[in-house]
Amino acid sequence: MKSNSQQKFDSAFKRDVHEGLSTFPKFLFSKYIYDKKGDSLFQDIMAMPEYYLTGCEFEIISNHTKTIGELFRDKENGLDLIELGAGDGKKTKVLLKYMNENNFNFIYKPIDISENAVNMLSSNLAKEMPKLKVDAEVGEYFEVLENLKKFDKRKKVIMVLGSNIGNLRHPQAINFLSKLKDSLHTDDLLFMGFDQKKNPQTILDAYNDKAGITAAFNKNILTRINRELGGNFDVEKYIHWESYNPETGTAKSFLVATEAMEVEIEQIDLKLQFDQWESIHVEISQKYDDKIVTWLAQESGLEIVTSFTDQNEYYKNYVFKRA
C-alpha cells in the first residue's frame, strides 16, 4: 500500500478519510457528516428538548432583534450580511425579516458546506421574502475567507451562529478568527455565537440524547464512507460515546467498535483492523466563558463591542470589531 504522503486522491473527502483512519488514535472530520441525510438528522437534533443551543440563540436574536439590527445598519451605503454555516437559516430569518421591513439596504450572502442546505434555504427565502436579495454560495469556512476580503466597497457584517466556532480547538479557532479579522475593515462587524460553560450534565444530555438521534447523526459519516467510497463498515457494531471535560470545556464525540473487526474502503485502497472498544473521534464541541472569549479575541486581533445572552445565560452572541 502506498503511504499517505505518496498517495494522490481526487477529492478532499478521500484524502481526509485516508489520513484520519490511518492515524492512531483514529479520527474523522465532522464536516463529512453533512450530506442530505446528515442535514435532516441535524434538523432533528436542533428540535430536541435536550439540545438547548438552538433555542437559546433563537431567544437571544428574537429578544434583541431591533438592537442587533440597528447595530448592523449603515444608512449611507447599506451593507453585505454574510453568514458562514447558514444551515436552515431559522434564527437568521428573524433578523432578515426585521431588516427587510425596516428599509435596510443590504444583500444577504449565506454560505454553507452543504449544497442541500444552501439550495433549501435559498428556495425558502424566495418564497417567504421575495424582495430579499440573496447571493448564496456553497463552500467551507477556510475556503471562503480569502473571498471575504473582496467585500470592501461598503460595510459588511459576518455572522457565525450555532457555536460553530466550538468545532475548532483553541489554536484553530485563533487561526480562524485571525483570518476573519484580516477581512474586516474599520466599520465591519463579526457577530458570533459561543456556547457557555454550564452544568456538565446539561452539556452531556445535549449530545447524548436518549432517542439516539445524535448517535445516528455521528454514525452517518460511516454510512457515507460506505456509500461514496466503497467502505464496508458494519455501522450497527459501533456505539456513540460522549465525554465532557468541565476543566477544559471540551465535549468530544466518539464512535466505538463493540468488537474486533476488519474494514475495507475500496476507493482509497485502505484495509483497517479495529480492536474491540477502539474509537474514532468524530466531533469536538468547545464551551466557553467571558475570559476565554476575551483571550481568543485578543490573540486574534479583535475586540468585543458587546454581547447578548439568554435568560439562563447558557449561550452568548458576541459582537466583535477589528482591534
Could you report the per-residue pLDDT of 217-253, keeping only the tens digit for each? 999 999 999 999 999 999 999 999 999 999 999 999 9
Question: Domain 64-196+288-322 - what CATH class?
Answer: alpha beta
Helix axes of 200-207 and 52-63: crossing angle, nearest 10 degrees: 110
Q: Is residue 73 a contact partner of residue 118, using CB atoms and an 8 Å limit?
A: no
Task: Express each pLDDT in 39-48 by its tens digit.
Answer: 899 999 999 9
Q: What pLDDT digit, counting tens, does each position of 261-272 carry?
A: 999 999 999 999
pLDDT at 183 (0 to 100): 93
CB 213 within 8 A of CB 179: no
Question: Whole-angstrom Cα distance, residue 134 to residue 109?
Answer: 6
Distances (CA, A) of 13 to 19, 30, 69, 167, 296: 10, 11, 38, 18, 29
> Which residue in 155, 59, 63 sits closest to 105, CA to CA?
155
The three cell numbers of residue 53 are 443551543
Residues linked to residue 244 through DSSP beta bridges, in sequence order: 251
Give SS3 for 191: strand
How far apart CA 288 and CA 307 sit, in angstroms, is 13
Residues 6+ apart with CB under 8 A from 40: none
The DSSP code for 311 is T
Among 118-132, 148-162, 287-301, name the most confident range: 287-301
Delimit the CATH 3.40.50.150 region(s) of the chain. 64-196+288-322
Q: Using alpha carbons, list the distances in angstroms from residue 209 to 21, 52, 213.
A: 27, 12, 7
Per mean pLDDT, which range of 137-141, 165-169, 274-278 is the poorest?
137-141
